[in-house]
Amino acid sequence: MGVEVSRLSNGLTVATETIPSIETVALGVWVKSGARNERDDEHGIAHLLEHMAFKGTGQRSAWDIASQIEDVGGEINAATSVETTAFFARVLADDVPLAVDILSDILTDSRFDPGELEREQHVILQEIGAAYDTPDDIVFDRFTETAFRHQTIGRSILGTPETVKSFTSAQLRSYMDRQYGADRMVVVAAGAVRHDEFLRQVESRLGGFRPKAESVLPQYANYVGGDYREDRGLMDAQILLGFEGRAYHVRDFYASQLLSMVLGGGMSSRLFQEVREKRGLCYSVYAFHWGFSDTGVFGVHAATGKEDIARLVPVILDELQRAGENILPEELNRARAQYRAGLLMSQESAASRASQIARQLMLYGRPIPMQELVERLSAITTERLRDLAERLFATKPTVAAIGPVGALPAFETIRESLAGPTPSVRRLAG
């Protein structure tokens, strides 16, 4: 049946996709406001708000929210990202009205009780501590902080102990009032759902939601790159090497996705084969590309022992420069097949499909048909990937490393190696 999209009089977008083969419904409210939308004195408030959403409304206690959804076998949760916040549930088809009511209650009538707030602040402080104690987690925070220095897009979503402890119930209400408007929200359901019925249910509960968010959009991001190293007495080192990536809307976004798969998207990828299989220099290595609304980051993550760092990094740099010289047709075809399979597999999950539709509506203003995505992938050539690699890996790098990092080559050495011809990288390796 495809995706059906309607808009309420207040500007709220409502979309559904009926999937006849399943008997459940994944639904949620996605807000185009995340950690990036915080002011300087609000670092971590978007994530705290997500936690507090389940701590009671004027009609329901925290226990009521949890028990009512679980009494019918359903699930409810939320998530905060750099640019969005989502509140979602999964229930049987007959229980969709209950899920809509609970999610709407959270968005329109959360109490932000001071006692609950104090307890949840303590929980998040524990979460921050746990992240710091997990090097393969915290290194990504340090990576984005370095890539986008002194910008909200680069800050940790969790906030800091100082900021999290400082927030009051009044600040949470103010943030929600400023950031949450129907013009920045989409409500999506996928699975055993009928569009007209779902539309009526949403309209009855959220048709009166404020039409517009009051705050301005976040400042345009500026990738700067740089170097962060934290020497810890650990058995292994977590290393990230990154470059300026591409935003969702630009021509090279999908090419960047494919390039990351050619380099480090699986066991057959260049980095895995060269670094792990042939040389045994690490136990984990992969490439990734993150797109945002106005920028992106391309990165390589590796985890290795102290004794292999000096040899590992030059080999990675060598493979990056080789990508600008030659990419084989079979490598591109394999990456294209992997990406297409991932898209199709995600279609088999109602929750993944709802999230995908919401993301497309917020970014592009419309759902993107699968055939259109496949055509975009098919149009990418090996020449285009080589050209992209040459340009991408010439940008100022971002290096983030935690662990026994004393043998890691100096930042300027890495930067100069990438700026020069491939043989200079090979000399560094020697």
The pLDDT score that the predictor gives to residue 13 is: 98
Domain extent listing, the chain: 3-206, 226-429
- How high is the pLDDT of residue 346? 87
Q: Which residues are catalytic?
A: 50
Q: Which CATH superfamily is domain 226-429 in?
A: Metalloenzyme, LuxS/M16 peptidase-like (3.30.830.10)
Domains 3-206 and 226-429 share a fold: yes
Among residues 293, 346, 360, 292, the alpha carbon closest in space to that of 26 is found at 346
* pLDDT of res. 425: 43
How distant, in Å, are the alpha carbons of 238, 265, 348, 383, 407 from that of 342?
Answer: 27, 12, 10, 24, 37
Intervals of the chain under pLDDT 50: 422-430
The CATH number fitting domain 3-206, selected from 3.30.830.10, 2.60.410.10, 3.40.50.1000, 1.10.1740.10 = 3.30.830.10
Closest by alpha carbon to 191, among 79, 90, 312, 88?
Answer: 90
Lookup: tokens for 277: 């299989």
Taking residue 391's Cβ as centre, other Cβ atoms within 10 Å add up to: 13
